[in-house]
């Protein structure tokens, strides 16, 4: 198991590590996808980048105030989302930073440690 440790925890959910193909949030193991906001972490049923649409993310991006951007974890490896998906999310007013889900989890912790107001959608590892 890979583990992340910090001296000071960021506010809101922090990804503490990975266990097999799952994320660890505090003492909870999340075996599938994960949605993160600065205030909450939720299980996410999405399983594939290919079937993901911008409409699937509307509840996640409905933060008040709106997130600075969306951190998109594309699963076990880095894959580029389709141009149609990217254009649709950008038309909603959000930038997208895509990377593999492990890298996105680490980026989440760093950015939240800087108190950045972001949202993350991490596909399963």
Looking up residue 41, the CATH number of its domain turns out to be 3.40.1230.10
**Per-residue pLDDT, 106:** 97
The model carries a pTM of 0.89
Say how many domains are in the chain. Answer: 1
- pLDDT for 47-99, tens place per residue? 899 999 999 999 999 999 999 999 999 999 999 999 999 999 999 999 999 99
Q: Is 40 left (phi over 0), alpha (psi -120 to 50) or beta?
A: beta
Domain holding 57, by residue range, is 2-122
**Per-residue pLDDT, 21:** 85
């Amino acid at each position: 198991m890979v583990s992340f440790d910090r001296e000071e925890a960021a506010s809101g959910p922090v990804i503490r590590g990975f266990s097999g193909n799952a994320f660890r949030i505090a003492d909870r193991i999340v075996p599938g996808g994960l949605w993160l906001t600065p205030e909450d972490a939720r299980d996410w049923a999405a399983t594939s980048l290919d079937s993901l649409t911008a409409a699937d993310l509307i509840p996640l991006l409905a933060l008040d105030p709106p997130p600075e951007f969306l951190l998109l974890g594309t699963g076990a490896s880095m894959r580029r989302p389709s141009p149609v998906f990217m254009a649709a999310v950008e038309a909603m007013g959000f930038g997208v930073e895509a990377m593999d889900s492990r890298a996105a989890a680490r980026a989440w912790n760093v950015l939240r440690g800087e108190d950045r107001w972001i949202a993350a959608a991490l596909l399963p590892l």
